[in-house]
Chains A and B, each alone.
Chain A
Amino acid sequence: MIAELEALAGFRADVREWCREHVPADWVARMTGASVDESLEFQRVWLAELREGGLAAPHWSSEWTGRDYSFEEEIVIAEEMARARAPRLDTFFVSLYHTYGLLMEAGTEAQRRRHLPAILDHGEIWCQGFSEPNAGSDLASLRTRAQRRGDVYVVNGQKVWSTYAMHARFCLLLARTDPAARKNRGISYFLLDMRTPGVEVRPIVDLGRRQEFCELFLVDVEIPVENRIGEENEGWRIANSTLSTERSTLLLMPAEQLRVAYWMLVDLARTTPGSGGRPAIEDVGVRRDLAGFHAEIANLRLLINRMLTQMIRAGGAGPESSIIKLYYSELLQRFTCYAAQLGGMKTQELAPLLGAAPYVSGVWEFDFLNSYTWTISAGTNEIQRNIISERVLGMPREPK
């Protein structure tokens, strides 16, 4: 445990009590196989519930939430939410993290006033329009064009993989404003109102047969100049600095969920027959594997603790966050795949899926397939490795 958290026992007890009273005991059963509308409604209700309890956005400043939490308290809240198996606010992920981070760092006061209360009080959903069909790992080569005409920008192009764009009221958009400049120098950052004429959203069916991410087609879409964030052609720099500040605490909740999930795997090993029909947990090979996961999950939390302690004491995270993301995502993938395999035919049975589930829901094959969200989106693990080898290990770039 992080030494600084020991003094917060009282606070922790309060949060735990709040969770006990408010996390709906039957939410997993109710939301399993729920329709899109039902899930959205549930997310809104849960957001409102958290807001009432002052827990919807512990990382936001009191100006918006009426309550300031210390960084240490934020950590405690994340730990307790995971422990209580509280639903994730995944529909509001971009709103609560990316939009907030962006507006606080690079937005104007007017933009903050317009958007932040709308997120918290009305559950406005945001999406992120960065990736394009030909600009994924090489995001800086994006081609969506924004041309200044008087006091608007006229935007044309196509975005892809934009999660929850079909429900979103606004989009964080990167578009090229100077095609003559070097790749990452000619990009600007915009807030796009999804109701603007010329915006078309087409959902893409994913491997779980859900419709979550979307294509965006932008034809002569007008964005008022005041919806540009920062200076023209500064978009790349802004996007990078606002993305990196978020990673630090975000992994805490998934890491804690993995600790809870570990015992679900142990249960699976208890109920699955192994050698000679004895429970798999008596199998020496399984025991060794479970011991391995126990250590790896503990190490994950220790790595996070080290980073958080560093942040509490010195402020600001180092490159650890990208190493932790890599470590977590691969552990998650291996862990869920292992469980899907351990259960034999039982875990092959199709089960109704659950929105807002923890990253490990216990429908193991579904959890495993979902783990690719972590290894592909927001910079694939291959790209993470390139970045870490170059920036942390100081190794030379690959020749062109």
Chain B
Amino acid sequence: MIHRTRTVDMDSEELRAAIRDVLDREATSERIRVVMDESKGHDAKLYALMAELGWTGLAIPEQYGGSGATLIELGVVLQELGRSLVSSSFEASVVLFGGALLLAGREDQRASFLPRIANGDLLASAALGGASGRCEVGSLALTVEPRGASLSLSGKLEYVPSADLSELVLVAARGPQGDTALVLVDPRHEAIEISPQPVFDPTRRFSRLVMHDHVVPRESMLGDFSNGEALRERLIELGAIALASDSMGGAGKVLESTIAFMKGREQFGRSIASFQALKHRCVDMMMRAEASAVSVEMALEAFSREAEEAPVAASEAKFYSCDSYVHVAKEGLQMHGGVGFTWEYDCHLYLKRALLNQALLGDSRWHRDRVADLVLGPATAL
């Protein structure tokens, strides 16, 4: 039986325990595998439960049917989803799409969509750029042209998370002045060609959207040309923090299960966990996992306060936590020996998800460049 406790009014650690309790039962390794094969990387049954338990509406203000908690609580959900390798549209719908509305939506947009995100009824997504791991405006392959009361969109969007399940996708497009517009489109519209882009990580699903002179009313815009790029950057930061959270949760779980495995595995008449060569490496994994945790917490907190240090904190959390996840998942696989090389054990699923997280929404090289620019100033000014 599921405890149907709503997640309002809990402190972070209670919240974490409650979420973990549910996911340990509802997002088992067996279940993850069923979902990855049978549905489009979205566990609808679990998602309905998540909505019922209030996870989807956690950071949505009460006036829109949410519980008005902060990004910090939402971060806990994301960490736990990462820990259990959950396949769902949560990041796309709640974090990116919901986050965009909260940052820049008009009242009518908020009122029509946020309650439906909170109750789990609306699946949506966002396409912010980042093909080939880079996220600058120049990398956007979609252009927008204002035409009277309309906008015309042409080009393509790659790696749009769970777009094939979505009613709406918020797309970033490059404007005529090199500026940016964020526009709501209906991915099911006949003028939009949508095709799957499968990735190595089988827990996630992406699509490519191609459109040519797709005309939408100007009201479909979120914000306007003057603040589009700033908004896109904020959303990249938000997405980056979400991926950092997922990575932190995943790394913690890999460390835990690797140690549990080693304690139970005997070779040479003793538990392999007693070999110093392995113990020291586990401690290194732990250090990285711990540092990821504080880095992610800092980023969540800075972003939710709209603090000045949020951009640096977001990018640092992204590359540190994602790089650490890759490191921990690699080590975890190796320390499992032969079983680590099987489909049945989860080691490879974590490793594939870690590599994907690292590449999404700006790879580590891109975020390091960004931090260097923000902290040191542009290289040419030195």
Is B291 an interface residue when CB atoms closer than 8 A count as contact?
no
* A369 close to B359 (CB less than 8 A): no
Point out residues on B near A: beta carbons under 8 Å.
130-134, 136, 138-139, 158-159, 197-201, 266-270, 272, 275-278, 326, 330, 333-334, 337-338, 340-344, 347-348, 351-352, 355-356, 358-360, 363-365, 369
Q: A350-B199, A382-B277 are in contact. Are A369 and B363 (CB under 8 A)?
A: no
Is A41 an interface residue when CB atoms closer than 8 A count as contact?
no
* B365 close to A348 (CB less than 8 A): no
* B341 close to A376 (CB less than 8 A): yes
Instruction: Bits for A187-212, please: 1 = Cβ < 8 Å to B, else 0.
Output: 00000000000000000111101000
Is A137 an interface residue when CB atoms closer than 8 A count as contact?
yes
Give the complex CA separation of A131 and B267 in angstroms: 12
Closest Cβ of chain B to A381, distance in Å, is 7
Closest Cβ of chain A to B50, distance in Å, is 26
Q: Which residues of chain A come closer than 8 Å to B266, judged between CB atoms?
A: 134
Q: A206-B341, A345-B130, A349-B197 are in contact. Are A276 and B365 (CB under 8 A)?
A: no
Q: Which residues of chain A come closer than 8 Å to B136, judged between CB atoms?
A: 276-277
Contact of A348 among B268, B275, B355 (CB under 8 A): B355
Q: Which residues of chain B come closer than 8 Å to A277, judged between CB atoms?
A: 134, 136, 138-139
Closest Cβ of chain A to B208, distance in Å, is 10
Give the complex CA separation of A393 and B274 in angstroms: 23
Q: A275-B369, A346-B132, A369-B348 are in contact. Are A382 and B200 (CB under 8 A)?
A: no
Closest Cβ of chain B to A334, distance in Å, is 10
Contact of B365 among A274, A337, A349, A381 (CB under 8 A): A274
Q: A138-B268, A365-B200 are in contact. Are A343 and B132 (CB under 8 A)?
A: yes
- Which residue on chain A has the smallest CB distance to residue B358? A341
Is A283 an interface residue when CB atoms closer than 8 A count as contact?
yes
Q: A207-B342, A372-B341 are in contact. Are A341 and B359 (CB under 8 A)?
A: yes
* A348 close to B356 (CB less than 8 A): yes
Q: Which residues of chain A come closer than 8 Å to B197, judged between CB atoms?
A: 349
Contact of A344 among B132, B267, B330 (CB under 8 A): B132
Q: Which residues of chain A come closer than 8 Å to B338, judged between CB atoms?
A: 131, 136, 160-161, 376-377
Give the complex CA separation of A136 and B337 in angstroms: 8
Point out residues on A near B: beta carbons under 8 Å.
131, 134-138, 141, 160-161, 204-207, 209, 213, 272-277, 280, 283, 285-286, 333, 337, 340-341, 343-350, 365-366, 369, 372-373, 375-377, 380-382, 385-386, 398, 400
- Which residue on chain B has the smallest CB distance to residue A373? B341
Give the complex CA separation of A381 and B359 in angstroms: 28
Additional pairs, 6, CB under 8 Å, beyond known A275-B369, A341-B363, A345-B359: A207-B342, A274-B134, A277-B136, A348-B200, A348-B359, A365-B200
- Closest 9 pairs (CB-CB, A-B): A344-B133, A207-B348, A344-B132, A205-B343, A138-B267, A350-B198, A348-B199, A277-B138, A138-B268
Q: A206-B343, A207-B343 are in contact. Are A341 and B139 (CB under 8 A)?
A: no
Give the complex CA separation of A369 and B343 in angstroms: 12
- Which residue on chain B has the smallest CB distance to residue A366? B200
6 residue pairs of the A-B complex, CB under 8 angstroms, read: A204-B342, A280-B365, A348-B199, A348-B356, A348-B359, A381-B334
Interface majority SS (helix, strand, loop, mixed), chain B? helix
Q: Which residues of chain B come closer than 8 Å to A205, judged between CB atoms?
A: 342-344
Q: Which residues of chain A come closer than 8 Å to B359, judged between CB atoms?
A: 341, 344-345, 347-348
Give the complex CA separation of A382 and B337 in angstroms: 10
* B330 close to A337 (CB less than 8 A): yes
Q: Which residues of chain A come closer than 8 Å to B270, judged between CB atoms?
A: 400
Give the complex CA separation of A307 and B299 in angstroms: 52
Q: Which residues of chain A come closer than 8 Å to B268, judged between CB atoms?
A: 137-138, 141
* B132 close to A349 (CB less than 8 A): no
Contact of B200 among A134, A138, A350 (CB under 8 A): A350
- Which residue on chain A has the smallest CB distance to residue B204? A348
Q: Which residues of chain A come closer than 8 Å to B369, judged between CB atoms?
A: 275
* A209 close to B343 (CB less than 8 A): yes
- Which residue on chain A has the smallest CB distance to residue B267? A138
Give the complex CA separation of A50 and B42 in angstroms: 49
Give the complex CA separation of A380 and B331 in angstroms: 13
* B198 close to A349 (CB less than 8 A): yes
Contact of A341 among B138, B277, B344, B355 (CB under 8 A): B355
Give the complex CA separation of A386 and B333 in angstroms: 19
Q: Which residues of chain B come closer than 8 Å to A369, judged between CB atoms?
A: 348, 351-352
Closest Cβ of chain A to B272, distance in Å, is 8
* B133 close to A372 (CB less than 8 A): no
Closest Cβ of chain B to A400, distance in Å, is 7
Give the complex CA separation of A333 and B333 in angstroms: 13
* B134 close to A344 (CB less than 8 A): yes
Closest Cβ of chain A to B9, distance in Å, is 39
Closest Cβ of chain B to A248, distance in Å, is 25
* B343 close to A348 (CB less than 8 A): no
Contact of A345 among B334, B340, B351, B360 (CB under 8 A): B360
Closest Cβ of chain B to A350, distance in Å, is 4
Give the complex CA separation of A289 and B270 in angstroms: 40
Q: Which residues of chain B come closer than 8 Å to A365, judged between CB atoms?
A: 200, 352, 355
Closest Cβ of chain A to B128, distance in Å, is 12
Closest Cβ of chain B to A339, distance in Å, is 11
